[in-house]
Amino acid sequence: MGCKIHPSVKAYFNSYWFADLDGFFKDHYIKLESVLPNAYIQSYSSRLREYKNNHNHTLDHIPLGMEGNGLIVVVDNRDGSVKLEDFERNAFEAISESIEQFIVELRLRR
């Protein structure tokens, strides 16, 4: 992709495997992208390339999933914080200091 990826994002894709992970974080319903071995890498690479193209060919943030109202769950590629991105408004709301803290506080859907 021609850019550095925050170490927490690399650890996330190397530490977790799940086909479906969704639940509530604070007042937001969140659905994270599947993390599966091998075949998933190509699919995610395509989505990441598309995200980069839609953001002036930069990856200041790395997408991890979607929020129930259409916001994108992203990781800040500089400091590793988790944010909600409103693409239409070009706005970001920090919701967690790290991916690890985000996953620990995610309340799974029953």
Beta-carbon contacts of 12 under 8 Å, excluding residues fewer than 6 positions away, are: 35, 64, 75, 99
Domain made up of 7-108: CATH architecture:
3-Layer(aba) Sandwich (3.40)
What is the structure's pLDDT at 20? Answer: 74
Tell me the whole-structure pTM to 2 decimals.
0.86
Euclidean distance between CA atoms 95 and 110, whole angstroms: 22
Give pLDDT, residue 2. Answer: 63
Q: Where are the domains of the chain?
A: 7-108
Q: Which residues contact 42 (CB under 8 A, 6 or more apart)?
A: none
Query: Could you tell me the two tokens for 81?
Result: 């914080």
The confidence score (pLDDT) of residue 45 equals: 79
Per-residue model confidence as pLDDT tens for the chain (110 residues) = 567 888 888 888 777 677 678 899 999 999 988 777 765 666 777 888 898 999 988 899 999 999 999 999 999 999 999 999 999 999 999 999 999 999 899 998 66
Residue 70 DSSP code: S
Q: What is the DSSP letter of 67?
A: E
